[in-house]
A and B are shown apart, each in its own frame.
Chain A
Amino acid sequence: DAGVTQSPTHLIKTRGQQVTLRCSPKSGHDTVSWYQQALGQGPQFIFQYYEEEERQRGNFPDRFSGHQFPNYSSELNVNALLLGDSALYLCASSLSAGTLSYYGYTFGSGTRLTVV
């Protein structure tokens, strides 16, 4: 049973460029969340996708956008990269449900983005 896979694992971009990160959720999961983790900090929620729509969004500028495909995979796009966007980007998949319970996030291994 494949877990969450992210690509690429490492990426170096120049300030002002655009980047696309990819995520395939764990088999059976239908919800994908993206987190940004700066060095020495906890992950910060960027947004969550369910049924191909953005369901929740954290406090990130519009330069951060995403997409979810019919097969539940997802992309994170960041435009006009800043030096401060350098971080580990984590994808987490989960199963959405209608009951009051938590089904657990499975994190991918992340994409390390360096902006120079």
Chain B
Amino acid sequence: QKEVEQNSGPLSVPEGAIASLNCTYSDRGSQSFFWYRQYSGKSPELIMSIYSNGDKEDGRFTAQLNKASQYVSLLIRDSQPSDSATYLCAVSEAGGSARQLTFGSGTQLTVLP
């Protein structure tokens, strides 16, 4: 049974701070890693994807991957109230075609003005 675990929330940070979201996965064969943002009552929206060990930065977001530790994280710098949402970590196997995603249960982030 492939599992994806996320740090339990909810997580509250003040506006302008760095929010750190963590995720571990059980399947060593996983090759693709994603962070989705989901506002209440809405569908998930892809914000970051990462495939290689190390850091990947996109604006205020940085994804970090450590395959040896089976760990992936998301840092949100200069957090804004509009970042308040549930963040879902998702993992996929390698493969030639689009594969199923295994999601964690999500971490609810609240950015306080």
- Which of chain B's residues have a CB closer than 8 A to the CB of A45? 100-102
Chain A, interface residues (CB within 8 Å), range: 20 to 34
> In angstroms, how far is the closest chain B Cβ from the Cβ of A56?
5
* Assembly CA distance A35 to B42 (angstroms): 14
* Assembly CA distance A61 to B107 (angstroms): 28
| From B94, B101, B102, B103, residue with most partner A Cβ within 10 Å | B101
B98 and A105: CB pair below 8 A? yes
| From A33, A35, A102, A105, residue with most partner B Cβ within 10 Å | A102
Q: Is A107 part of the binding interface, using a Cβ–Cβ cutoff of 8 Å? A: yes
Interface string of B72-113 (1 = CB under 8 A from A): 000000000000000010101011111111111110000000
How many A-B residue contacts, CB cutoff 8 Å? Answer: 68
- Which of chain B's residues have a CB closer than 8 A to the CB of A42? 4, 88, 90, 103-106
Interface string of A13-50 (1 = CB under 8 A from B): 00000000000000000010101000011111100101
- Which of chain B's residues have a CB closer than 8 A to the CB of A98? 96-97
B42 and A109: CB pair below 8 A? yes
Question: Which residues of chain B from 38 to 86 have a CB within 8 Å of any chain A CB?
Answer: 42-46, 49, 51
- Which of chain A's residues have a CB closer than 8 A to the CB of B20? none
B105 and A97: CB pair below 8 A? no
Q: Is A86 part of the binding interface, using a Cβ–Cβ cutoff of 8 Å? A: no
A44 and B103: CB pair below 8 A? yes
Q: Is B32 part of the binding interface, using a Cβ–Cβ cutoff of 8 Å? A: yes
- Which of chain B's residues have a CB closer than 8 A to the CB of A43? 44, 88, 101, 103
Q: Is A95 part of the binding interface, using a Cβ–Cβ cutoff of 8 Å? A: yes
> In angstroms, how far is the closest chain A Cβ from the Cβ of B42?
7
The 8 A-B pairs with the shortest beta carbon distances in the complex, nearest first, are A42-B103, A94-B98, A107-B43, A45-B100, A96-B97, A102-B32, A42-B105, A98-B96
Please list the residues of chain A having a beta carbon within 8 angstroms of any beta carbon in chain B: 31, 33, 35, 40-45, 48, 50, 55-56, 58, 90, 94-100, 102-105, 107-110
